[in-house]
Amino acid sequence: MSKIIYDTEESTFQFDLPPVIQKLEYYATEHNVDEARELLNFIAESSDDPITLPEKYDYFNYVALDLLDQKNGSIKCKSCNKTYSPDQLKPTIVGQGKSPFSINSKEKGGIKNLFGSKQKLPGMVGGRGYECPEGHNLISMITWRT
C-alpha cells in the first residue's frame, strides 16, 4: 500500500494513502479548499512510492491533525528520534482552546473580564496539537479565530 510522507521542522508524518485521499476529497468538495485539490492532483501525478509531499503544501498540517485525531498514521519526533502511533501522543491546546465553544477561561482575566465590560472584544485564537510522550511539540495549529 502506498504511503504519504510529510516532513516538518519538528516531525515526520507517515500515513496510508487511502485515508489521506478521503480526507483531501472531503476538504476539496465539502469546504472548497483549493490546496486540497492541488494536493490531490500532486498525489495523482506522482509515481513515487512512498509519496513525499513538498513543504509548500502547508495546508496538509490540518489534514495531518485530523488524521491523527482519527488514530491514523504514525509520527516521528525529530527531537527524540522516536516514532509514535497516534494513541501514544499527548493532545495539546493552543491559545484560547481547541474550539471557540471551549474557551480557556483559566487565562488571566478569563471570561468574566472579556464579557463584563462594554469594551470591544479582542480577537481570540485557539487550536490544538500533539506532543510526543517526552513532551516535544510535534504539531500545533490555530484552527479558529474570532
Q: Which amino acid is at 108?
A: K
Higher pLDDT, 124 or 100: 124
**Range 64-80 average pLDDT:** 96
Question: Which residue's entry shows cell 483531501?
Answer: 24
State the DSSP code for 17: H
**Predicted local distance difference test score (pLDDT) of residue 1:** 66
14: cell is 507517515
Percent of the chain with pLDDT over 70: 81
Strand partners, 84: 75
33: cell is 479548499
State the residue range of the domain holding 14: 3-145
Question: Which residue's entry shows cell 482552546?
Answer: 97
Higher pLDDT, 122 or 62: 62
Q: Say yes or no to pLDDT of 117 above 80.
A: no
3-state secondary structure of 41: helix
Q: Say yes or no to pLDDT of 106 above 90.
A: no
Strand partners, 93: 128
100: cell is 471557540
Higher pLDDT, 118 or 61: 61
Nearest to 146 by CA among 115, 109, 117, 116: 115
Look at the chain and report how many structural domains it folds into: 1
Q: Which amino acid is at 80?
A: C
3-state secondary structure of 133: coil
User: In whole numbers, what is the pLDDT of the chain averaged over residues?
Assistant: 86
pTM, 2 dp: 0.79
**Predicted local distance difference test score (pLDDT) of residue 47:** 85
**Predicted local distance difference test score (pLDDT) of residue 124:** 79
pLDDT in tens, 5-38: 999 999 999 999 999 999 999 999 999 999 999 9
CA dist., res. 113 & res. 107, Å (int) = 10
Q: Say yes or no to pLDDT of 48 above 90.
A: no
Residues 6 or more apart whose Cβ sits within 8 Å of residue 74: 13, 14, 83, 84, 85, 86
pLDDT in tens, 79-89: 999 999 999 99
**Range 103-107 average pLDDT:** 52
